[in-house]
A and B are shown apart, each in its own frame.
Chain A
Amino acid sequence: MKRKVGRLLHSGVGLAVALLFLLPIYWIFTASLRQRGLPPPTGIEWWPSPATLENYPYIFNLLPMARYVRNSLLVVGTAVPITVFIASIAGFAMSQEDEVWRRRLLIASIVLLMVPGASVWLFRFQILRWLGLIDSLWALIAPAFAAGSPLYVLLFFWSYRRIPGEVFEAARLDGASAWVMWRQLARPLVRPTAVTIIILSFVMYWSDFVSPVLYIFRTDLYTLPIGLQLLKQLDPTNWPLLMAAAAVITLPVLVLFIFLQRYFLSDLSIASLMDQN
């Protein structure tokens, strides 16, 4: 009896915590439905009345939001596949390396995880300028050529390491190339990790606010996060409009997260692969 009460209490507290953490997303969407120009509410408003969707077309007329969306999609659509590919082959190669090199790469990657973004701002700008990539969407895609983040390579490495060595031995005796091993044997076995990296890197490129601030000056190349900042400068207290813009940028990552989260968190796929390390 006492145990049952305990379990119920545990579930109750869990639910309360979950609702608290869902509140930010709930508020972004409900606040975006409020009619513009109404006097501000005097109490917490859980659902605006009347609720309206007209703020959405309004912000698309106020600012070239459609172009910002297009630019953001171009960046993500190019950067995510490159990131996943480069991180995956690098992680695979790391898992196949001998002990000494594996250790070196592992330590280097973990050290790189600790390098703060600000330390590369100043000089990455110069390098991108020399490459002629300032004021080009390629400046925002560039990190993809370094696998996005060392974390992605490490996650792939850990999950490739879990594959028993026998899987590859027969293929190696047959003289299969590294490419065939990766593509036909290894890659299909780490699908949950690939999905995780897709989510993480999508969120990273889609949300990136700092890179366009630093590297993009042409207004027709602005991405959505810059669009939000512009809208805020235009009308800093028009909450329904600001929240509608926030909803536009949040919705794609939210949909992706909801559809793919069973790979990502529910079965603790990251967890189960990390403890094999």
Chain B
Amino acid sequence: MKPQQFTSTTESSKAKFPWKLPYKAQMRLFLLPYVLGTIVLVVIPAVATVLISFTEYKAVGAPRFVGLQNYRDLLGFGLVRTSLRNSAIFLLLAVPLRLLGALVLALLLQRKGRMFGSYRAAVYAPTIIPEAAYALLWLWIFNPVYGPLNLFLGWLGLPTPDWLIQPGTARLAIVILSCFQIGEGFVVLLAGLQSIPRSFYESAKVDGATWQQSFWQITLPLLSPWLMLLTFRDLIMSLQNTFTPSFIITYGGPYYATTFAPLLIYELAFDYMRLGLAAALLLLTYVLLGLIVLGILNAVGLGGSADEA
């Protein structure tokens, strides 16, 4: 709809080609589809979700205002606590591992040259595998009897866990598979490394600094804004991205061990049609995440600014 609107304006003024609209207004017109589309598809749904969380809403009929009742219901609902606990365990393991992985790989593969270009592409490769295919692949890899992982562990003489059958290892399995799709963080950190001027390292070298010293004194402080941005994005996105694997591989099991917040939100909303309750759980999850983010900001905020000086 929006692009049509846009083209119709171009056509009506085609007769005299440079539009009569002032340049600034033409630019606003260029922004219109993006801004309108985002408002309709992202901003309104997100705001409506917040409002809906204070109502009883079953997809049909009008929402009925119930105040904080949904939140009270959530607290008395054991599965909600389970899903929040699962999500917290997942994030605690997955986010640091993913960031550390992306950082180590970016440092290792930032070198120039043709081979290293291909190595960087290889690291990005698992990230492009469609989620559904990726989930099926890991379903096979984690098969306790003939999955390649256990065959390999057995060959090494290591213990071969039942992966997707035991609650603890099933959750760990979702963490492990998330650690191979780190292309985005990897590319962002490569960009961050590129933005550090070479001369910093050269003068450090002249001063006789070892590579460990230049890493702690130059690389890490200058990379910290990028790492911070990635931490926040990864806290949100990696939790969101548990949806497809937990839906296809385990459907929340065994014993609800992989029922993460997004899967429970989906079930509440689309299986039980309790949209108000689902919205409340969503809000609760992300308010808790927001508190974690604020905690991190507080913990490093002061130290970070001291480093800059």
**Bound CA span A146–B49, Å:** 19
Q: Kindly identify, within residues 100 to 133 of chain A, every residue whose CB is under 8 Å from any CB belonging to chain B.
A: 105, 112-124, 126-127
Query: Which of A18-26, A47-55, A57-65 is the contact stretch?
Result: A18-26
A172 at the interface (CB under 8 A from B): yes
Residues of B within 8 A of A165 (CB): none
**Bound CA span A30–B119, Å:** 21
Against A, the Cβ 8 Å flags (1 = close, 0 = not) of B111-122 are 100111111111
* Inter-subunit contact A145/B33 (CB<8 Å): yes
Against A, the Cβ 8 Å flags (1 = close, 0 = not) of B149-180 are 00110010000000000000000000000001
Against B, the Cβ 8 Å flags (1 = close, 0 = not) of A194-227 are 0000010001001101100110000000001110
* Inter-subunit contact A120/B42 (CB<8 Å): yes
* Inter-subunit contact B140/A272 (CB<8 Å): no
**Bound CA span A134–B108, Å:** 47
Number of interface residues of A (CB under 8 A): 100
Number of interface residues of B (CB under 8 A): 96
**Bound CA span A267–B52, Å:** 47
* Inter-subunit contact A123/B44 (CB<8 Å): yes
Q: Kindly identify, within residues 1 to 57 of chain B, every residue whose CB is under 8 Å from any CB belonging to chain A.
A: 1-3, 10, 17-19, 23, 26-31, 33-38, 40-42, 44-46, 48-49, 52
Residue of chain A at shortest CB distance from B268: A122
Residues of A within 8 A of B265 (CB): 118, 121
B212 at the interface (CB under 8 A from A): no
Task: Give the shortest distance, in Å, between A44 (CB) and chain B (any CB).
Answer: 5
* Inter-subunit contact A268/B194 (CB<8 Å): yes
* Inter-subunit contact B131/A207 (CB<8 Å): yes
* Inter-subunit contact A127/B45 (CB<8 Å): yes
B145 at the interface (CB under 8 A from A): yes
B201 at the interface (CB under 8 A from A): no
* Inter-subunit contact A143/B41 (CB<8 Å): yes
Q: Given the interface contacts A14-B119, A242-B139, A266-B120, does A90 sit within 8 Å of B23 by beta carbon?
A: no
Residues of B within 8 A of A229 (CB): 132, 248
Task: Give the shortest distance, in Å, between B93 (CB) and chain A (any CB).
Answer: 19
B129 at the interface (CB under 8 A from A): yes
* Inter-subunit contact B27/A122 (CB<8 Å): no
Task: Give the shortest distance, in Å, between B42 (CB) and chain A (any CB).
Answer: 6
Q: Is the contact region of chain A dominated by helix, strand, or loop, or is it mixed?
A: helix
A228 at the interface (CB under 8 A from B): yes
B256 at the interface (CB under 8 A from A): no
Q: Given the interface contacts A25-B126, A124-B45, A275-B191, does A243 sit within 8 Å of B286 by beta carbon?
A: no
* Inter-subunit contact B243/A239 (CB<8 Å): no
A15 at the interface (CB under 8 A from B): yes
Against B, the Cβ 8 Å flags (1 = close, 0 = not) of A132-143 are 000000000011
**Bound CA span A140–B196, Å:** 40
Q: Kindly identify, within residues 31 to 50 of chain A, every residue whose CB is under 8 Å from any CB belonging to chain B.
A: 31, 40-44
**Bound CA span A229–B248, Å:** 7
* Inter-subunit contact B233/A114 (CB<8 Å): yes
Residue of chain B at shortest CB distance from A252: B130
**Bound CA span A213–B37, Å:** 22
A234 at the interface (CB under 8 A from B): no
* Inter-subunit contact A178/B46 (CB<8 Å): no
Task: Give the shortest distance, in Å, between B291 (CB) and chain A (any CB).
Answer: 15
- 8 smallest A-B Cβ distances: which pairs? A146-B37, A275-B195, A207-B130, A266-B117, A123-B45, A93-B30, A178-B26, A90-B34
CB<8 Å pairs between A and B, sample of 7: A27-B140, A28-B129, A121-B266, A146-B40, A207-B132, A209-B132, A264-B121
